[in-house]
Amino acid sequence: DVFQLPGGSNEAGTAIDLPLWDLGAKLSGQPLYKLLGARGSRAVELYDGSVYIDDLDASDEEAVEIFREEVKTGHDYGYKNFKIKIGRGARWMPVTEGTDRDVLVIHSVREAAGEEAKILVDANNGTTLNIAKDILDRCEDVGIYWFEEPFPEDGAFNEDFKQFIIEKGYDTLVADGESGPPPPSYFDMVKRGWIDVVQHDFRAKGLTWWRETAAMIEPWGGQCAPHCWGSLIERYAHAHFAASVPHFSLQEAAPADMPGVVLDGWAMQDGCLMVPDTPGTGFDLEADVIEEGVKREDGFRVGQ
């Protein structure tokens, strides 16, 4: 009643999809990534995705300082790679002024993060084809690792953008698929190489769907990087999936702490989350947290 193979869980089953995988791994006495095949690296490379548009009322000089501090916070938590929200000219600033600020912020984050960092940008569909090209040209010296959701997926635009990247000799990957249901042609664009990194939401789609999808896109050269935002616990389950496939790109995360979670064996090392050999997903809740959560009406809920 829960699983609809191929394709994963039905809508009602996605909330228990991951817990069932966790239970299966625990019953078999092995970490989840091994149950899933253990074809990837246990050192899962992360990026800090918390570099948002926090500068709308700031001068250029103030904006540079804002993002230096945000990179410093990421470094303090062990992150090396950073994803930057762009697209200020789509809504919050005039187009030219907003694009200029996007470019300034990208360069500022690169300078603060260092030469070894991977710098990613995410427009949330907030640029046009021509503006996306302009940003890549003006940030050629930055070496943008991936450009996420430059515009709503469109076969003609995605082909044009990818061809531009190839002709320019850029190494930038095109990442897409996070926002809403993608068009029917989405996976055809992945197969054709116009989209490099598949990003459907990890929680909404479920682990079973992601296993099926990872197997489908592997022979095409596609990479996996599920959207993973708003849940620290989900980050650790996500890392098991990352460690199970050979074509995982980078895992989304952000500086955060969560009291009451037992994470024995987990560690950050050189910008990577190290997946332990603890059975299941490898985390638990402290007993007193569970006890209080059961007592309180608002303590726990089952859902997404």
Residue 2 maps to a domain: no
Other C-beta atoms closer than 10 Å to the C-beta of 302 total 7
pLDDT reading at 165 higher than 70:
yes
| Residue 268 in domain | yes
> Is residue 84 in some structural domain?
yes
Describe the chain by its helix, strand, coil percentages, rounded to 5: 40, 15, 40
Average pLDDT of the segment spanning 265-284: 94
**Does any domain span residue 304?**
no
Torsion angle of C-alpha atoms 297, 14, 262, 249, degrees rounded to 10 = -140
Coil, strand or helix: which one is 166?
Answer: helix
Cis bond upstream, residue 150 (ω within 30)? no
Average pLDDT in the chain: 93
pLDDT at 73: 97
* Confidence band, pLDDT 50/70/90 cuts, at residue 302: low
Quote the pLDDT of residue 304: 47
Higher pLDDT, 231 or 121: 121
Would you say residue 211 lies in a domain? yes
Domain with 54, as residue range(s), is 11-295
Q: Which CATH number covers residue 32?
A: 3.20.20.120
- Does 27 reside within a domain? yes
Which pLDDT band, with edges at 50, 70 and 90, does 48 fall under?
very high
Per the domain annotation, does 60 fall within a domain?
yes
Average pLDDT over residues 222-245: 93
Domain count, the chain: 1
Residue 6 lies in a domain: no
C-alpha gyration radius of the chain: 20
Q: Which helix (H) or strand (E) holds 84?
A: strand 82-85
Contacts of residue 220, Cβ cutoff 8 Å, sequence gap at least 6 = 190, 191, 193
Using 50, 70 and 90 to split pLDDT, how confident is the model at 10? confident
Pairing outcome for strands 144-148 and 119-122: parallel
